[in-house]
């Protein structure tokens, strides 16, 4: 290593280079450069595949689900004939509530028939079934509620904006075409033409569907009325329970393990077990929840409390692992300084280490919560895949009321017969993805804002 | 650490409220996924038209529902079990052993089971014998029991389309499979006379012959679908040669994608199933715990509402969805009103 020029002229193999210029590439250099280019290309390829699949996923979900946020309504004058609404004519609310919502269907059918005559719309082959199947069954129910709330309306004609059936709605979302309508037992070409005519007339409008987000699930007969209100509440309640239980337990466990626990075989076993628990399939927690919380502790099925407890168990390892990493990343000099000025170990941890570790802990918690929010498998076993059409009450009592959850609602809807549910399932996925995105953004924001580097 | 204190106190609050978990406020239902849509339609209308809360309805299958039903009385046990088959005597015994002695059986209607194929494919005019010949594991050729050699539908019956046999039938965990085996395969087996040949081959053992009749070929021409009808529909969409087994109500909701096969020349409709003309149908049930009536608010009212003419009768919302109404609905209503239990 005495003669610099000499060693530079020899390659690692000891071979003498004839062309020593840096400007002309030797075969070896070219090979190395090519290998590097290939390596980069693999990386770009991997990212391209990931982006392509993400784009494919998002376009297919948004393509299928965006229409769930729009819904078709028709406003026509409805005559609340007393013969149907109050057959005994006493205007007694008690008696009138004995008339089931199914009977109100004829009011809508008759009113629609009259309206068509008045407007002079001529459609060939329009049957009674086309007319009665035009409006959603939900419209009957809301008409009934309107009458019971306000018995003076009996006998009058009111302008009503009614939800149309899922087939009519599908005509304006590309789900039902004139051709498919001709083969479809639940609609017909005449109904299709009537809907077109009403659309031109301005009676039929497709507008933003806020009830998709607020209303509870609906039965198979009223796909057009189904919403994710109960599922959002159920998911929210479960996340609250997870947050309130998993965060303190997880942080306390991590602080003890990281700052106080002696390093011995026992804590090693605990450590291995925590890492193992993080990898346990979530369905196992569902079985555990069924056995421990429902069968043994006697908590009610299909309730956010049980779901929340199961998800807490599932999220704990994630929170403990990320909290321990956050505590570890606080430099020992801070602990030493605090101890050096006479702080107790508890003071050191609570006043100095924990605040500095907070951003990491919160990020881990939010990621854990996001994971729990999208979890379906354990909830299947504890009865969350139920048809729940009433909102749970306000917490804490509402934690014990039956509720659904977002991912479970998606699962539920993909199994229903009416194609309109498929659109709604995709719509619910969009909502779920938006929630997950917000949570992850919050995690990134917290980390950026509060993270300190040494 | 204010937030930690807050969290701890909130946790304590939850723990405290756990002890005052109120008594069950609504009817809990679980069971057959075939009955599930009907039960949800009733639950929704029930909540809408009465003062009671909407029942919580879960699926899970007939057997799972009845198992849960028989776990005991009171507390968190379900009040109603839906089933697409009748309760077995072994299940009644389990129920009784767990204290569920008084069970009200309610048969509220019928469900048709149909064969359907892609809307753009050829028409299928089937008989149980054709289906047996196409899908059975073993058939009789020239008096000999052999493994099923048919590859095309036209091999089975020259009148059928020349299309490869590809069937999507419900998996063994489904109640529909049982009906398919009994009402189609077994019927076809008896019709073709294969039953006797099987019995002969098994030394006169009738049970073995029946089992042979109902065993489905496993060479790939018949695929068991363990999911629900949406999966069968997706399989047919990706494989236009396929013929799938569906519930009548599912088919009626998807007539724009599916073409239904006739059985013995009868097209399945609500009317042809109700009259018994269409051969492949089964009764649908739900079971009510009598001991819960009067304890769980709205339980008896729910059962009565379910079988009322307004719901389960002809032209009602259940028939609209595809239920074949029970011609003896009045008797069923009386059973529910009298709370008559099965013995």
Q: Are residues B146 and B96 part of one domain?
A: no
The pLDDT score that the predictor gives to residue B21 is 42
Give CA–CA dist A52/A348, Å, rounded: 49
Residue B118's nearest CA partner among B24, B259, B214, B283 is B259
Q: Are residues B310 and B188 part of one domain?
A: no
Among chain A residues, CA nearest to B78: A301
The pLDDT score that the predictor gives to residue A100 is 86
Residue ending a domain, among A217, A250, A265, is: A217
The pLDDT score that the predictor gives to residue A4 is 47
Residue ending a domain, among A191, A217, A243, is: A217
Residue B26's nearest CA partner among B2, B68, B3, B58 is B58
pLDDT band of residue B306 (cuts 50, 70, 90) is very high
Residue A3 maps to a domain: no
Residue B255 maps to a domain: yes
Residue B167 maps to a domain: yes
Range of the domain at A394: 229-450
Residue A29 maps to a domain: no
Cβ pair B37:A417 closer than 8 A:
yes
Residue A161 maps to a domain: yes
Residue B343 maps to a domain: no
Q: What is the pLDDT of residues B39-93, one digit of tens each?
A: 999 999 999 898 898 999 988 888 888 988 998 887 778 899 999 888 888 999 9
The pLDDT score that the predictor gives to residue B18 is 45
- Whole-structure pTM value: 0.84
Q: Are residues B116 and B81 part of one domain?
A: no
Q: Chain-wide mean pLDDT for chain B? A: 85
With b meaning 16 or more CB within 10 Å and e meaning fewer, what string describes A166-194?
A: bbbbbbbbebbeeebbeebebbbbbbbbb
3-state SS assignment for residue B224: strand
A451 touches chain B (CB under 8 A): no
Note whether A109 and A131 are within 8 A (CB). Answer: yes
Give CA–CA dist A126/A164, Å, rounded: 17
Domain CATH for B295: 3.40.190.10
Nearest-Cα distance to chain A for B230, in Å, is: 6
Q: A residues 382-401 near B, CB within 8 Å?
A: 383, 385-390, 396-397, 399-401
Q: Which residues of B touch A305 (CB under 8 A)?
A: 14, 18
Interface test with A, best of B32, B40, B75 (most A CBs within 10 A): B40
Domain count, chain B: 2
Q: Which residues of A touch B21 (CB under 8 A)?
A: 299-300, 400
Residue B39 maps to a domain: yes
Residue B99 maps to a domain: yes
Q: Are residues A210 and A233 part of one domain?
A: no
Give CA–CA dist B130/B121, Å, rounded: 18
Q: Which residues of A touch B43 (CB under 8 A)?
A: 219, 387, 389
Residue A170's nearest CA partner among A156, A155, A186 is A186
Cα A272–chain centre separation: 33
Q: Are residues B126 and B226 part of one domain?
A: yes
Out of A102, A305, A397, the one facing B316 most closely (by C-beta) is A102
Q: Are residues B268 and B119 part of one domain?
A: yes
A413 touches chain B (CB under 8 A): no
Residue B17 maps to a domain: no
Q: Are residues B253 and B124 part of one domain?
A: yes
Q: Are residues A372 and A324 part of one domain?
A: yes
Note whether A308 and A245 are within 8 A (CB). Answer: yes
Residue A238's nearest CA partner among A313, A319, A309, A317 is A309
Q: What is the pLDDT of residues B185-229, one digit of tens each?
A: 888 888 888 888 888 887 777 888 888 888 888 888 888 888 778
Out of A183, A389, A397, the one facing B256 most closely (by C-beta) is A183
A347 touches chain B (CB under 8 A): no
- End-to-end C-alpha distance for chain A, whole angstroms: 40
User: ipTM of the assembly?
Assistant: 0.84
Residue A27 maps to a domain: no
pLDDT band of residue B10 (cuts 50, 70, 90) is low
Q: What is the pLDDT of residues B230-289, one digit of tens each?
A: 889 989 988 888 899 998 888 888 888 899 999 988 999 888 888 888 988 888 999 999
Residue A49 maps to a domain: no
For the CA atoms of chain B, what is the radius of gyration?
24
Q: Are residues A239 and A297 part of one domain?
A: yes
Mean pLDDT by 10 residues, chain A (454 residues): 46 54 83 94 97 95 90 90 80 81 87 88 84 89 88 85 89 85 84 89 88 91 91 94 94 93 90 90 91 87 92 93 93 93 93 91 91 91 88 88 92 88 93 93 88 70
Among chain A residues, CA nearest to B72: A295
Out of B59, B249, B256, the one facing A417 most closely (by C-beta) is B249
Residues ≥6 apart with Cβ < 8 Å to A260:
A345
Nearest-Cα distance to chain B for A361, in Å, is: 13
Q: Are residues B62 and B47 part of one domain?
A: yes
The pLDDT score that the predictor gives to residue A338 is 94
Chain A to chain B Cβ contacts (< 8 Å) = 138
Residue A308 maps to a domain: yes
Domain CATH for A416: 1.10.3720.10
Q: Are residues B178 and B227 part of one domain?
A: yes
The pLDDT score that the predictor gives to residue A263 is 87
Nearest-Cα distance to chain B for A146, in Å, is: 12
Residue A309 maps to a domain: yes
Angle (CA) A67-A72-A75 rounded to 5° is 165
Q: Are residues A406 and A276 part of one domain?
A: yes
Residue B84's nearest CA partner among B170, B176, B184 is B176
Q: Are residues A235 and A212 part of one domain?
A: no
Q: Which residues of A touch B25 (CB under 8 A)?
A: 401
Q: Are residues A235 and A161 part of one domain?
A: no
Q: What is the pLDDT of residues B132-160, one digit of tens each?
A: 888 888 888 877 788 888 888 888 888 88
Domain count, chain A: 2
Please list the residues that pair with A158 across neighbouring strands.
A78
- End-to-end C-alpha distance for chain B, whole angstroms: 64
Q: Are residues B137 and B104 part of one domain?
A: no
pLDDT band of residue B17 (cuts 50, 70, 90) is very low
A234 touches chain B (CB under 8 A): no
Interface test with B, best of A386, A395, A413 (most B CBs within 10 A): A386
Note whether B312 and B46 are within 8 A (CB). Answer: no
Give the rounded percent of residues in chain B with a pLDDT score beyond 70: 93
Question: Does the pLDDT at position B22 exceed 50?
Answer: no
Residue ending a domain, among B281, B301, B327, is: B281
Range of the domain at B128: 112-281
Q: Are residues A278 and A207 part of one domain?
A: no
Residue B300 maps to a domain: yes
Give the rounded percent of residues in chain B with a pLDDT score beyond 90: 19
Residue B7 maps to a domain: no
Q: Are residues B293 and B213 part of one domain?
A: no
Residue A426 maps to a domain: yes
């Amino acid at each position: 290593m005495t003669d610099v020029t000499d060693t530079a002229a020899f390659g690692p193999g000891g071979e003498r280079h004839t062309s020593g210029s840096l400007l002309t590439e030797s075969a070896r250099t070219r090979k190395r450069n090519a290998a590097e280019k290939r390596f980069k290309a693999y990386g770009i390829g991997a990212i391209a595949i990931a982006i392509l699949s993400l784009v494919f996923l998002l376009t297919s979900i948004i393509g299928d689900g965006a229409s769930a946020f729009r819904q078709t309504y028709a406003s026509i004058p409805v005559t609340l004939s007393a013969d149907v609404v109050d057959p005994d004519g006493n205007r007694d609310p008690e008696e009138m509530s004995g008339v089931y919502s199914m009977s109100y269907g004829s009011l809508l059918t008759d009113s629609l028939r009259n309206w068509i005559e008045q407007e002079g719309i001529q459609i060939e082959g329009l049957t009674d079934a086309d007319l009665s199947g035009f409006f959603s069954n939900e419209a009957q129910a809301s008409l009934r509620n309107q009458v019971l709330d306000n018995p003076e309306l009996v006998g009058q004609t009111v302008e009503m904006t009614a939800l149309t059936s899922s087939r009519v709605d599908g005509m304006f979302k590309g789900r039902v075409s004139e051709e498919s309508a001709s083969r479809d037992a639940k609609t017909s070409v005449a109904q299709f033409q009537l809907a077109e005519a009403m659309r031109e007339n301005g009676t039929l409008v497709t507008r933003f569907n806020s009830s998709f987000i607020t209303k509870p699930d609906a039965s198979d007969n009223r796909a057009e009325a189904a919403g994710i209100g109960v599922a959002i509440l159920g998911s929210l309640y479960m996340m609250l329970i997870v947050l309130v239980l998993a965060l303190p337990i997880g942080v306390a466990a991590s602080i003890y393990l990281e700052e106080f626990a002696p390093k011995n075989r026992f804590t090693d076993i605990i450590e291995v077990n925590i890492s193992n628990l993080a990898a346990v399939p979530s369905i196992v927690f569902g079985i555990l929840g069924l056995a421990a919380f429902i069968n043994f502790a006697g908590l009610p099925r299909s309730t956010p409390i049980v779901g929340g407890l199961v998800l807490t168990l599932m999220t704990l390892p994630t929170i403990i692992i990320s909290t321990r990493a956050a505590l570890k990343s606080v430099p020992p000099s801070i602990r030493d300084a605090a101890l050096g000025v006479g702080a107790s170990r508890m003071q050191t941890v609570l006043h100095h280490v924990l605040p500095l570790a907070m951003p990491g802990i919160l990020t881990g918690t939010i990621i854990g919560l996001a994971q729990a929010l999208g979890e379906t498998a354990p909830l299947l076993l504890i009865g969350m895949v139920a048809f729940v059409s009433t909102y749970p009450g306000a917490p804490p009592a509402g934690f014990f009321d039956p509720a659904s959850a977002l991912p479970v609602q998606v699962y539920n809807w993909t199994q229903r017969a009416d194609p309109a549910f498929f659109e709604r399932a995709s719509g619910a996925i969009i909502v779920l993805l938006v929630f997950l995105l917000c949570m992850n953004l919050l995690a990134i924001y917290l980390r950026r804002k509060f993270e300190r580097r040494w | 650490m204010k937030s930690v204190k807050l969290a701890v106190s909130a946790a304590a609050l939850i723990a405290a409220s756990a002890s005052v978990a109120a008594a069950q406020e609504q009817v809990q239902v679980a069971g057959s996924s075939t009955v599930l849509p009907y039960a949800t339609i009733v639950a929704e209308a029930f909540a809408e038209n009465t003062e009671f809360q909407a029942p919580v309805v879960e699926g899970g299958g007939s057997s799972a529902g009845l198992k849960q039903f028989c776990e005991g009385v009171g507390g968190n046990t379900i009040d109603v079990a839906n089933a697409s088959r009748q309760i077995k005597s072994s299940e009644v015994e389990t129920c009784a052993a767990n204290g569920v002695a008084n069970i009200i059986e309610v048969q509220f209607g019928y469900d048709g089971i149909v064969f359907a194929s892609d809307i753009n494919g050829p028409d299928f005019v089937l008989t149980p014998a054709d289906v047996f010949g196409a899908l059975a594991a073993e058939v009789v050729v020239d008096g000999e029991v052999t493994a099923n050699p048919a590859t095309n539908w036209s091999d089975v019956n020259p009148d059928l389309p020349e299309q490869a046999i590809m069937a999507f039938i419900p998996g063994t965990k489904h109640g529909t499979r049982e009906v398919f085996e009994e009402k189609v395969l077994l019927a076809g087996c008896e019709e073709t006379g294969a039953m006797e040949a099987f019995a002969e081959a098994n030394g006169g053992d009738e049970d073995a012959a029946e089992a042979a009749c109902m065993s489905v070929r496993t060479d790939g021409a018949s695929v068991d679908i363990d999911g629900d009808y949406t999966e069968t529909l997706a399989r047919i969409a990706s494989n236009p040669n396929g013929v799938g087994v569906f519930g009548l109500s599912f088919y009626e909701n998807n007539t724009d994608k599916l073409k239904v096969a006739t059985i013995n020349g009868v097209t399945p409709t609500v009317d042809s199933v109700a009259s018994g003309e269409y051969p492949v149908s089964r009764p649908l049930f739900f079971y009510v715990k009598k001991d819960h009536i009067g304890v769980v608010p709205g339980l008896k009212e729910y059962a009565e509402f379910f079988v009322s003419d307004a719901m389960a009768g002809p032209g009602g919302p259940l028939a609209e969805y595809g239920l074949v109404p029970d011609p003896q609905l009045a008797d069923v209503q009386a059973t529910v009103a009298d709370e008559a239990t099965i013995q």
